[in-house]
Amino acid sequence: MKRLLCALTALMLSLSAMADEGMWLLPYLKKMNEKDMKSLGLKLKAEDIYSPDKLALKDAIVIFGRGCTGEIVSPNGLLFTNHHCGYPNIQALSSVEHDYLKFGFWAMNNQEELPAPGLEVRFIRQIHDVTAEILGNIPSIAGGEERQKMVGANKEALVKRLESENPGMEVVIPTFFGGNQFFAFVMEVYKDVRLVGTPPSSIGKFGGETDNWMWPRHTGDFSIFRVYAGKDNRPAEYSPENVPYKADKYLSISTKGVEEGDFAMIMGFPGSTTRYMTSSEIDYMLSVDNPQRIYIRGERQAILKEDMAASDKVRIQYASKYASSSNYWKNSIGMSRGIEKLHVKSKKELQEYSFQKWAEKNTLPEEGYMDALRLIEESVKEARDPQATAQYLREAFLSAVEILSPAGTFVRLESLPEEQLQEMIERMKEWYKDYNAPTDRKVAKRMLTIARENMKELPSIYAEVIDKQFAGNIDAYVDDLYDRSIFDNEEQVVAFMKNFDKNRLQSDPAVALYASVMELYLAKMKELAPTQFKYGDGHRLYIAGLMLQRPEKAWASDANFSIRLTYGQVLPYRPVDGVKYNHYTTLKGVMEKEVQEDNHEFFVPARLKELYEKRDFGRWADKNGEMPVAFLANCDITGGNSGSPIMNSRGELIGLAFDGNWEAMSGDVAFEPELQRTISVDVRYLLFIIEKYAGASWLLEELDLR
C-alpha cells in the first residue's frame, strides 16, 4: 500500500502532461497541468478553473440529465447543452399537435418556458480525495470478493457520513485507476428544469445518422434550458411558485471566434473510457461484443426506421429511442474499424510485454504485479461464453422487446397497495405514451428469430412453449403473446392495476417470456461473478504496476462520469494521405448538403435558407463574412462530454462539444494525437439561430457577451 501511495504522489508531481491527451482531475490541475496549459496560451490560473475555497469555472458546469453535461450561462440559471442531450425531454414534450422535434420551440418569456418532468441537473459543490478512508484498513494482500466487500463497506459508511454533514446533498464515490484511488463528490440536485428553446431537428440533428461521428460537420447541436429553484434558491420540486436559479457563477461568452492554434479547454463529465484495456480484452471486443451489438441493433433499427417514416405519431414516439440506439451502434462500428486500422492491439501487446518483463525483474511475487496480466487473460477467457449470452439477452430481449418492460415491473408484486395505485397508473401512462404495439410486435418476431439463430444457449421458453405449443413457429408465438397479454396496451394495464390479480399476472404470456429471459440472464450473471472478481484484481494491479514502472509519466484515470478537464488547441487534421480538413465549417456547407425532402437528414428549413441567401448573419459572421457552424480541437473527450463547454484561454465560452471524429473512433481505448479531434458547434451559430432564426433576442439580454 505504501509503495502504491508513493506512486500516486509521484503521479501528481510528475512532469507536465501532453496537451492533447488526458481527462484530468480538477484538484491536481495546479500540480500537473497549469504550466503546460500556460505554455499553450492559457491566461487564467488553475485556481480560476477549480478552487475548493472560492468560486471558479467548475461551479458553472453541471451534470445534465442522465448522461450529459451542461453549463450555466446567465445569472438567471440559463443553461446550454446539446440538442441531442435535450432530445429525450424535447421528445417527451412533443406531440403530433406540438411537434417540437420537427418545428422547434422558443419561449418568448419566462412564463412560456416548459417544465421538463424528470429532468435534473447536478452541481458539484465539493470534491474530496478519500483514498485513505477507503483503502486505509484494507490489507495489501486482500483481493477478490473479500476486498470488494471491504471497499463497499467503507464507501457506504463514508457516503452516510458525508451526507449527514451535508444535508440535502447527494454523495457519490466513484473508483479511479482501477480501484487504486477514490474521490467523493458532493452534489446539489435541482429538479425543476424547463425547456427554453430548441431549434428544429433539421438544424439540431442536421446530417442525422449519416453525419454522426463525421467531419466536416454542419450540425447546430444545441438546446437551451433553465434551472428553477425555491424562493431560498435551493432545490425544490416543480412548482409554479419556483423562480429562476440565481447563479453565483456562470460562463461569459466570446463572440470573437476561433483561429487555428488557439488554446481550447473543455470541462465536463466524460462517461467511460478503457485506456488500460489489454490485448485479450480487445480480442473479445472485436470478435464478440461489438459484432453482436452492431448486428442486433441494426436489425431492430431497420424496423423502427420503417415504421417511423410511415407515421408522424410513431416518429415522435420512437425518435429518442432510435437516436439512443443508433448512436452507440455506429460508435461500435467505428470503434472496431479504428482499432483494427490503427493497430491498437499490437501496441497493447508491446506495452504488456514490457510490463511483464519489468514486473518479473523488479517486483516480489506477493505484491501480485507479475500475475496481473494472467488474471486478466484468464478472466476474459472464462467470461467469454456467459458474457456473450448475457449481452444477447440484454440487447435482443430486455432492451429491444418493449413489452417486457411493464411485464417486469409487475412480476415481483404480490399486490398493488392503494397508496401506490395512482402513482403507478401515471408511470404507466407516461411509458405507453411512447409505445406502439404493432412496431414492438415486429421487433419481437425479429429478435426472437435472430436469438435462435445465433445464441448457444436459449431461454427455456423456446423449448417449453415455442417448440411444444407452436411447433417452433416464432411468428405465431409472438402473435399469440401480443394478442393475449394485458401489457399490449395502456387501457388493459390500467384496468388490471385497478383490479390487481396475481394469478392473472402469472398467466400472462409476456410475464412468462420475461421470467424465462431473466432466469437465464441471472444464471449467466452468477457464472460471471467470480470472473469479475479475478478481473478486478488483475486490472487494479496492472494499472498500479504501470504507474510504478513509469513514475515519470503523467497518467490519467479512465473516464467514469466524474468532472474532468481536457485541453489542447484548435487544429485541423489529415485523415488520409493527400487530404487536409479545415478546422471549421460554415453555413455554406449546410446549403451544399441540402436535400429538400421532408424528414430527410439533410433537409434545410426555409427560414434558414432565406437568411443565408440574404447573407443576414448580423453580428455573428466571421471576418470573411461567412456564418461559422462548427470547429475542431484536439481535446480528449468521450460520451458524457456531450454539451460540455469548450472555452478559450480566458475561460469564455466559444462552443459546445458534441462529437468525435470517425477516423479516431478507437480513442476510448487508445488516444491517437494526430487524428483525434473534438467537434464543437460554434457559439456564434448558436447565437445566430437564437436571434435571427428564432427571433428570441430576449435571451441574449441576460448573456455576458464579450
Four-residue CA torsion sign, 72, 76, 82, 84? positive
**Contact partners, residue 148, CB within 8 Å, separation at least 6:** 533, 536
Vertex 690 angle, CA 685 and 696, to 5°:
170
Residue environment code for 538-566, b if the CB has 16+ CB neighbours within 10 A, otherwise e: bbbbbbbbbbbbbeeebbbbbbbbbbbbb
Q: Which of 221, 508, 659, 682 is catalytic?
A: 221
Q: How far apart are CA 553 and CA 667, in angstroms?
A: 19
SS3 labels along 192-218: EEEEEEECCHHHHCCCHHHHCCCCCCC
Give the integer Cα–Cα distance in Å for 356 and 353. 5
Beta strands 68-72 and 61-64 are: antiparallel
The helix/strand/coil state of 57 is helix
Phi, psi of 260 (to 5 degrees): -55, 130
- What is the 8-class DSSP label of residue 640? T
Q: All 3 cell numbers of residue 569?
A: 488547441
- The helix-helix angle for 372-393 and 290-310 (nearest 10°) equals 30
Residues 442 and 453: their CA atoms lie apart, in Å, by 17
Task: Encode burial over 194-221: b for 16+ CB neighbours within 10 A, e otherwise.
Answer: bbbbbbbbbbbbbbbbebbbbbbbbbbb
- What is the 3 state secondary structure string of 445-492? HHHHHHHHHHCCCCCCHHHHHHHHHHCCCHHHHHHHHHHHCHHHCHHH
Active site residue 74: no
Q: Which is the catalytic residue, given 51, 59, 74, 84?
A: 84
Amino acid at the residue 241: E
Q: Nearest 5°: CA angle at 45, between 40 and 47?
A: 135
- Of the candidates 279, 642, 666, 680, the residue annotated as catalytic is 642
Q: Which residues pair with 678 in a beta bridge?
A: 633, 660
| Other Cβ atoms closer than 10 A to 237 | 8
Asked if 95 is an active-site residue, the reply is no
> Which residues have C-beta within 8 Å of that of residue 420, sequence separation ≥ 6?
none
Examine the residue annotation and report whether 287 is marked as an active-site residue of this protein: no
Apex 583 CA angle, 580 and 589, nearest 5: 90
Catalytic site positions: 84, 221, 642
